[in-house]
Amino acid sequence: MGVELRRRLVHAVGLLAAFAALAVVGFRLFAHVPWLDALYMVVISLSGVGYHEIVDTSHSAGLRAFNIAVLVGGFAAVVYVISLATAVIVQGEFGSIFRRRRMEKRIATFQGHYLVCGAGETGTLVVAELGRTGATASVVDLKRERLEALPDRPTLATVEGDATDLATLERAGLDRAACVVTALPHEKDNLVVTVLVRQKDPSIRIVARHVDPLMADRLRKAGADAAVSPTAIGSMRLASEAVRPHVVGFLDQMLKERAQTVRIEEIPLAAGSPWIGKTLGALDLRKQWGLTTLALRDGDASYRYGPEPEEALSSGTVLIVLGDVARIAEARASAVPKR
């Protein structure tokens, strides 16, 4: 709304300037006065100061009608511009205060959320995917316009500020976040965020964006759990479209499906989970939640693809499943240790 209001103000000022220019030309042509006198007439007419007219309009009905049009039209244009300017100031000052307080209250309720640094093209897509999967997230960006363009939903909060400043990250709920995604446009800024977050919390997961292949190692050494290159992913996508188009089509349809949100997700089993000791066949994830188990992983071991029903689950096992995110959330809740 703020961006739209400012855009309307710019247009209104432009129209007022165009109206004033036409009025100056009109006085110059109709009254045959110098340009400065014509400008003077327009200024006193639009400002409403009531100074003495230096152009005598009494001898010409047409000129007087033109002057009336300038007075009425100019007054209306000036009032409209002033009203828009006032709205922008009020919304900019008070609106930002109310918005900041509302976001602070919202962030205070977040626990185990995702903290996204950067609301540019990459960050916006990350936020959109988090929203589709029902995840809670806070977003940090320097530009208010980018934050205002994000959807307003209860599971999303925004913080205007510098993501390379630890105080800003703390305002975004860093102390309670489960993962930080740093998608700032400059790689050095992503490196700074990674160092700050890792020093603050040795256990939090950090995913960092990079373009330069050499930066990937630096990010990992600085503490990033994963370094992602949009360029490399785009190249893999191009190759996949050429080699395996049906697989890409399947994944695209899965990501773009509107009727339901189907994703490949993970279900970790912590100590005390009621699933521990059971087999996949006994759990029957497909029957209970409509999920397909694609792989299993125990700790740092390699993935076991297409596990058999006889596979027994243990503490630390991670299930990779395919299904509707709502049903996956139900299954994940069922796997949580009971208190």
Whether pTM > 0.85 for this model: the answer is no
Q: Which of 43-57, 128-142, 304-318 comes out lowest in average pLDDT?
A: 43-57
pLDDT-derived band at 54 (thresholds 50, 70, 90) equals low
pLDDT of residue 127: 96
pLDDT of residue 23: 85
pLDDT of residue 87: 75
298-312: pLDDT as tens digits: 987 889 999 999 999
**Do 294 and 264 touch, CB atoms closer than 8 A?**
yes
**Do 318 and 294 touch, CB atoms closer than 8 A?**
no
Residue 31: CB atoms within 10 Å? 20
Of 215, 256, 209, 253, residue with least CA distance to 234: 209
The rounded Cα 31 to chain-centroid distance in angstroms is 56
Q: Which is higher by pLDDT, 50 or 208?
A: 208
3-state SS string for 108-152: HCCCCCEEEECCCHHHHHHHHHHHHCCCCEEEEECCHHHHHCCCC
Report the distance separating Cα 297 and Cα 336, nearest Å: 17
pLDDT of residue 184: 96
50, HSE (Cβ side, Cα atoms, 13 Å): 0
Helix (H) or strand (E) holding 266: strand 262-268
254-287: pLDDT as tens digits: 877 777 789 999 999 999 999 999 999 999 999 9
pLDDT of residue 219: 96
Q: Tokens 């970790």 appear where?
A: 268
pLDDT-derived band at 63 (thresholds 50, 70, 90) equals confident
Q: What is the CA radius of gyration of the chain?
A: 31
Of 227, 223, 177, residue with least CA distance to 202: 223
In this structure, which amino acid lies at residue 62?
G
Q: Is the pLDDT score of 176 beyond 60?
A: yes
pLDDT of residue 201: 95
pLDDT-derived band at 14 (thresholds 50, 70, 90) equals confident
